[in-house]
Amino acid sequence: MDVSAVDEGLAGLALEELRVLRRDALEQEADLSYLRRLLHGRMDILRAELQRREIIPQQAADEPPCALLDRLPAILADAPSATRRPARHVTLGPPRGERYQQEADALMGDVQLADLAAHATAELLAAVERLDEHQREVSGRRQALQRTADDCGAEITRRYREGEARVDDLLSER
């Protein structure tokens, strides 16, 4: 079922169609959430390298290149969010395909995380901009999928509350 084509016509869908639509929306949202985390991780690493370059403008030739590597756990750690949001189920595993890993890699362009020191600052800034732009687009798609899942859940709840659907019917299907 095409989740992106959902509109206010949820009332016309059968209960099972609503459940499938909600499940599909949640699965697609989880995949996009994974992609968004990949993009944020890459942006955090690139920004840390850019910050390091501002603090240490000229790296000495004998300075070990692992300074950024040593800081990766701190760079990639999630800080507590200042924004309170309602709880939502989060899938921690990778998405159902390799598409999102490849998408994140392609957005990096010629910049390779394994050798950031070899890239000019302008290249790193361009990569951050590409990643950030795509991350905003992915966030918008995620929000639309979350609304779809929430709307489907609300319609299912309404049907049970108003007696259009019964728990007994659900139990008898099993």
3-state secondary structure 98-117: CHHHHHHHHHCCCCCHHHHH
- Asked whether residue 27 is domain-assigned, the answer is yes
Residue 8 lies in a domain: no
Cα-to-chain-centroid distance, residue 78: 14
Note whether residue 57 is domain-resident: yes
What is the per-residue pLDDT across 1-55, written as a single tens digit (0 to 9) for each?
Answer: 454 444 558 989 999 999 999 999 999 998 898 889 889 998 999 988 888 887 4
**pLDDT, mean over the chain:** 79
Write the pLDDT tens digit of every residue in 146-163.
999 999 999 999 999 998
* Per-residue pLDDT tens digits for 77-101: 776 666 665 555 555 556 666 777 7
Give yes or no for a contact between 33 and 89, defined as CB atoms under 8 angstroms apart.
Answer: no
pTM of the model: 0.72
- Residue 52: inside a domain: yes
Tell me if 87 is assigned to some domain.
no
Q: What is the total count of domains within the chain? A: 1
Domain span at 98: 14-73+93-172
Residue 44 domain-assigned (yes or no): yes
Q: What pLDDT sits at residue 56? A: 45
pLDDT of residue 151: 95
Helix axis angle for 15-55 and 67-76, nearest 10°, is 140
DSSP string, 121-149: HHHHHHHHHHHHHHHHHHHHHHHHHHHHH
- Tell me: pLDDT of 57 over 60: no
How large a percentage of the chain has pLDDT more than 90?
Answer: 34
Q: Is residue 6 part of a domain?
A: no
Do the domain assignments include residue 35? yes
